[in-house]
Amino acid sequence: MRIVDIRETAVPLKSTLRNAVFDFSEMTTSVVAVITDVVRDGKPVAGFAFNSTGRYACGAQMRDRFIPRIMKAPPDSLLNKAGDNFDPEKILACMMQREKPGGHTERSVAIGTIEVAVWDAVAKIAGKPLHRVLAETYNGGKVIDKVPCYVGGGWYQPGKGIRELQDEIKSRLDQGYTTMKIKVGGATIPDDVERVEAALKIVASSANLAVDANAGFDRERALAYAKALAPYKLRWFEEPTDPLDYALLTEVAAIYDAPIGTGENLFSTQDVHNLIRFGGLRADRDIIQTDVPQSYGIAQFARTLEMLKQNGWDRRSVFPHGGNQMTLAIVGGFGLGGCEAYPGVFGVFAGFADDAQVENGYLTLPQRPGIGFEAQNHLYAVMHELVAV
């Protein structure tokens, strides 16, 4: 049993969306295929993944360091003890050879994307959905069939006003979602407060509305938004500051009593540990949003969860960034708080299986082996091209 090839390509998003900090007009995403010599249904098993939206393609690091390290390793050194499947922990360790501690963002996305693709292959070889494999490995075998799911939306776009924002939210509620997250920070505070109040009229409860500032505020604006939004007691106020600005985040938490969500821009267990230790966050209400493929992958994420547990955090306080099939499987497998969704945005990388159903805010987990990309026709066509090369 061996990995015979690892291929990657960059795909442009071609999006006109904008948040408080940047637009997505130049955004690209790396797609990875890990091809094995294991045959299922007459075809070699291939595991797939992509670095979820918000980070540019990272193929250079993959080609220069991480793929060659895996391909040069003795095949048996990458297998589990039984020798009947690959061991993602060993493959992660292989990629981390000769890497200096620290400097996570330069490599964590590239490594994590490959590692998640390995997990897709592992689950396919086992003949199980990835969420079941993860539940058996990391969650005491507690397999669930559906997960809470909220919509990330409310983007700033040309010609999009209050009525269009309300129409967007109504359309998501009609699809079965109950909770919406909208952007703030790309307008003035009075205008954003108006948008929040308009959104609340549609979702009916502050517990069903979150806002996201995309870490775009300096101190003055972060504190001003915290004071302006505090009376609404929203589901959470996401990324009011750079998550590494612990002093400012502590100030925000001191005047914003409702939940704060942050951490999608952190890329290691050490970073998250420092966030909860020095950032003024509260384990009884705040939300951690680590993006798993962007932070070394699933095996390392398991260590992050264990660190959170040791510091009094429940894994149901973790809502990973990234509305895609990968995150859905991870949320279900680890039994986390919930999953994000991006219906209708980010092109082929948005959403879930073509036949996925949302009911009363819950999304049913797919039952096909692996992550389930094969049930996303447009995305799988991009991935399959890598195997066909």
- Which residues touch 72 (CB under 8 Å, ≥6 apart)? none
- The reported pLDDT for the residue numbered 54 is 66
Q: Is residue 159 part of a domain?
A: yes
Strands 146-152 and 237-238: unpaired
13 and 105 in a single domain? The answer is yes
pLDDT class of 314 with cuts at 50, 70, 90? very high
Residue-wise pLDDT for 43-93, tens only, equals: 999 999 998 776 777 889 999 999 999 999 999 999 999 999 999 999 999
Nearest to 273 by CA among 238, 306, 242: 306
Q: What is the CATH number of the domain that holds 113?
A: 3.30.390.10
Q: Is 142 found in the same domain as 60? A: no
Q: In this structure, are 121 and 242 located in the same domain?
A: no
> Helix %, strand %, coil % for the chain, to 5?
45, 20, 40
pLDDT digit string, tens, across residues 206-243: 999 999 999 989 999 999 999 999 999 999 999 999 99
Residues 35-42, mean pLDDT to the nearest whole number = 96
Q: Is the dihedral angle over the CA atoms 36, 41, 43, 47 positive or is it negative?
A: negative
Do residues 143 and 95 share a domain? no
Instruction: Say which residue, 378 or 285, is predicted with more confidence.
Output: 285
Whether residue 143 sits in one domain with residue 92: no
CB 353 within 8 A of CB 366: yes
The answer to the question of residue 272 being in a domain is: yes
Q: What is the pLDDT of residue 102?
A: 85
Q: What is the pTM of this model?
A: 0.94
Q: Are 162 and 155 in contact (CB under 8 A)?
A: no
Q: What is the structure's pLDDT at 103?
A: 82
Rg (CA), the chain: 20
Report pLDDT for 121: 98
**275 and 319 fall within a common domain:** yes
Q: Quote the percentage of the chain above a pLDDT of 90.
A: 81
Please write the tens of the pLDDT for every residue from 83-120: 999 999 999 999 999 998 888 888 999 999 999 999 99
Does 306 map to a domain?
yes
| pLDDT tens-digit map of 234-277 | 999 999 999 999 999 999 999 999 999 999 999 999 999 999 99
Task: Quote the distance between the C-alpha of residue 316 and its chain's center.
Answer: 15
The per-residue b/e assignment along 29-48, b for 16 or more CB within 10 angstroms, e otherwise, is bbbbbbbbebeeeeeebbbb
pLDDT > 90? residue 7: yes
pLDDT at 22: 57
Asked if the structure places residue 132 within a domain, the reply is no
Kindly report, residue by residue over 151-187, the tens digit of the pLDDT. 999 999 888 999 999 999 999 999 999 999 999 999 9
> What is the CB neighbour count within 10 angstroms for residue 5?
16
The answer to whether residue 324 sits within a structural domain is: yes
Mapped to the 3 state alphabet, what secondary structure does 170-200 carry? HHHHHCCCCCEEEECCCCCHHHHHHHHHHHH
The residue segments making up the domain with residue 50 are 3-127+379-388
Give Cβ neighbours of residue 118 (< 8 Å, ≥ 6 apart): 34, 47, 86, 88, 91, 297
Domain count, the chain: 2
- Same domain for 314 and 182, yes or no, is yes
pLDDT of 38 > 90? The answer is: yes
- Are 207 and 289 found together in one domain? yes
The label of the residue with tokens 């993860």 reads: 134
How far apart CA 124 and CA 297 sit, in angstroms, is 18
Say whether both 81 and 13 belong to one domain. yes
Q: Are residues 77 and 214 in the same domain?
A: no
Assess whether 93 and 152 both reside in one domain: no
In a domain, 133, yes or no: no
pLDDT of residue 263: 96
* Domain harbouring 297, CATH code: 3.20.20.120
Give domain status of residue 293, yes or no.
yes
Active-site residue list: 183, 321
Residue 301 — very low, low, confident or very high, per pLDDT cuts 50/70/90? very high
Is 279 a domain residue? yes
Residues 100, 242, single domain; the answer is no
The answer to whether residue 329 scores a pLDDT higher than 90 is yes
